[in-house]
Amino acid sequence: MTFDSEWAELVSAAKDQQSAGMRLNQAKAGPGGSGANHDLVVHQDDLGAVGHEAFELHGELHKKADIAGAGIDKSGAGSTAQAAREFSARQLTMGDELFTTLEVWGTQVKTVLQMCAHISNHLDYSKKAHAKDDAEIAASLRHRNGSAVSASEISKYVK
């Protein structure tokens, strides 16, 4: 049998197995065997631990990664900026490069600090927002009398 004929046979068999209706995939059954528990599960302890680590990382990084503020003089320039200024004053290109390094480092540290703050501040919000979304979806899939909307009625919204 040639590849083309075998391929045509496989395509034909696949088309025969497909139905014209809509098919919804399901999550595999959980340990209980029912497969009915599809909710997002996040435990408060997990969120608290991750948020705490992000908060601590933010504090330590803020203290230890500030090379621009280390050894500040009366004019407010840190020791790295002072060295860069001194190199530039002596016509060494290393001064400009050191200023560039200082700017890039500062930008990257600020980005990481913002990411840590974002993680720390928004984990609780995310859990509450998902719970609210789930409640709104569940309410929208019920009739006024509280009965569930049928699958055929839901399929009207996807067409």
What confidence tens digit (pLDDT) does each residue in 35-92 have?
Answer: 455 566 666 677 778 888 888 998 888 888 877 667 777 777 788 888 898 999 999 9
What's the number of domains the chain is made of? 1
- Does 136 reside within a domain? yes
pLDDT value at residue 91: 92
* Residue-averaged pLDDT of the chain: 78
In degrees rounded to 5, what are phi and psi of residue 22? -85, 140
Q: Which of 71, 157, 147, 8 is nearest to 83 (CA)?
A: 71
Range of the domain at 56: 42-143
Segment 1-26 mean pLDDT: 73
Question: Looking at the domain assignment, is residue 148 inside a domain?
Answer: no
* 108 located within any domain: yes
Cβ atoms of 54 and 67 within 8 Å: the answer is no
* Contact predicate 87/98, CB 8 Å: yes
Establish if 111 belongs to a structural domain.
yes
Backbone region of residue 61 per phi and psi (left: phi > 0; alpha: psi in -120 to 50; beta: other values): alpha
Amino acid at the residue 133: D
Residue 15 within a domain: no
Global pTM reads: 0.48
Residue 57 lies in a domain: yes
- Does residue 29 have a pLDDT over 90? no
Query: What distance in Å separates the CA atoms of residue 39 and residue 151, rounded to the nearest whole number?
Result: 19
More confident site: 77 or 145: 145
Percent with pLDDT over 90 in the chain: 14
